[in-house]
Structure 1
Amino acid sequence: MEYRITGKGVEISEAIKNYLEKRLDKVDRVIYDDELVSFDVRIEKDGKNQYVVKFNMNLKGNIINVEERHPDIYTAIDFASDALEKQVKKLKERLKNHSHRKSIPTETPLEEHGEFSPSDKISSIKRVSLLNLDLDEAVMQMDELNHRFLVFRNVNTGEINLLYRDENGNIHLIEMAE
């Protein structure tokens, strides 16, 4: 399984790479090579002397994010890899039960528009692929990721839609007109 590993405040030694690879073998057994679009591993040390292990996996438009913290880096990797394996199996079971899936994620990179300097109020920037989903799949994806909102291209209308969950748990749909 191909993945990109980065570290922040942590030197990624060969021992850590080997341990991570060994732990991810269990996940690799349940994923077919053609399902994996991208997989990023980020290991960092936070201000509380804890290691943070983050996995971001894209399986043909289904995004799985895992984040685990622990004072011991190897235990953090154990927790994160176990959580990732559990989420991958849950996703595969859900997809097996919803075999009507028709969408394919777009693979077009975001355009660069010169230099970008975010305002001081932006704490982080994350780039994600725009998913092609029908409305039912989008709601399932939002629930699976436990997100408050999801932006996607509706395969039935071709328009960009925004789903969001309000403070009462109700889901609302905004359809963007082009």
Structure 2
Amino acid sequence: MKITISGKNMAVTDALREVTEKKLSKLDKYFFEDVPVDVTLSVEKNRQIIEVTIPFSGAIIRAEESTEDMYQSIDKVVDILERQIRKHKTKLQKKNKGFETIRFENVQALPVGENGKESSIVRTKRFAMKPMDAEEAVLQMELLRHAFYVFRNAETDEVNVVYKRKDGNYGLIEPEF
């Protein structure tokens, strides 16, 4: 893996860089050498935040963790990434057939849910999307008490998504085609 570490609102010390690389090297057994790993370390008030993004073969594995101690955040984010890889092993295998980026022979599948079944889509919703701006979509999302809201952007006539972030702010997803 090719690990790129950057800091936001903080300087990345050599010790922090070494620990991060050492902990993330646990994931080497799952990937081939040329897979890029982007790591962002940041500080917001008393929160030590680490974000890790691993793009490979058209898929992206991402994890974010925040605690009061950066070293604890690093440990937790590695556990989250390993769990995601194990949990989605079969789905990733189907999606990445023929690609040489992930080593599935090293991924042990997690036990399937308690009832012995794999997760599946159990409900489908259809709804009309009236054109609105992002601020109105945020208001609708808050009124519905949802974590995200899908809407048609009145300015671009594209389908967009607004979502509530962990830091209390909002995000807007605008797809590119």
Unaligned segments of structure 1, at least 5 residues: 104-120, 122-146, 150-161, 166-175
Equivalence for 2:74: 77
Equivalence for 1:41: 39
1:3 aligns to what SS in structure 2?
Answer: strand
Return the offset for 1:23: 0.6
TM-score, normalisation: structure 2 = 0.52
Q: Which of 91, 95, 104 is equivalent to 1:94?
A: 91
Return the offset for 1:93: 3.2
TM-score, normalisation: structure 1 = 0.52
Q: CA 1:53–1:94 in 2, change beyond 3 Å: closer, same or farther?
A: same
| Matching residue's letter, 1:10 | M
1:1-178 → structure 2 map (5 Å cutoff) = 1-33=1-33, 36=35, 38-47=36-45, 49-96=46-93, 98=94, 101=97
Q: CA 1:87–1:163 in 2, change beyond 3 Å: closer, same or farther?
A: farther
Distance 2:87 2:18 in 1: 26
C-alpha distance after superposition, 1:36-73 (max 9, x if no partner): 2x3210000013x1111001110111111111000001
Contact 1:51 1:76 in 2 (8 A): yes
Contact 1:27 1:88 in 2 (8 A): no
Q: Whose Rg is larger?
A: 2
Contact 2:57 2:96 in 1 (8 A): no
Return the offset for 1:22: 1.3
| Matching residue's letter, 1:51 | Q
Contact 1:30 1:89 in 2 (8 A): no
CA RMSD of aligned residues (A): 3.5
Contact 2:4 2:37 in 1 (8 A): yes
| Matching residue's letter, 2:30 | V
Distance 2:160 2:39 in 1: 28
Unaligned segments of structure 2, at least 5 residues: 100-133, 135-147, 151-157, 162-176
What number of residue pairs does the alignment pair up? 111
| Percent identity of paired positions between Structure 1 and Structure 2 | 28
C-alpha distance after superposition, 1:74-129 (max 9, x if no partner): 00000011111221233433223x268589xxxxxxxxxxxxxxxxx9xxxxxxxx
Distance 1:11 1:100 in 2: 36
Structure 1 residue ranges, 4+ long, deviating more than 4 angstroms after superposition: 99-103, 162-165
1:33 aligns to what SS in structure 2?
Answer: coil
Distance 2:95 2:47 in 1: 41
Return the offset for 1:11: 1.6
2:2 aligns to what SS in structure 1?
Answer: coil
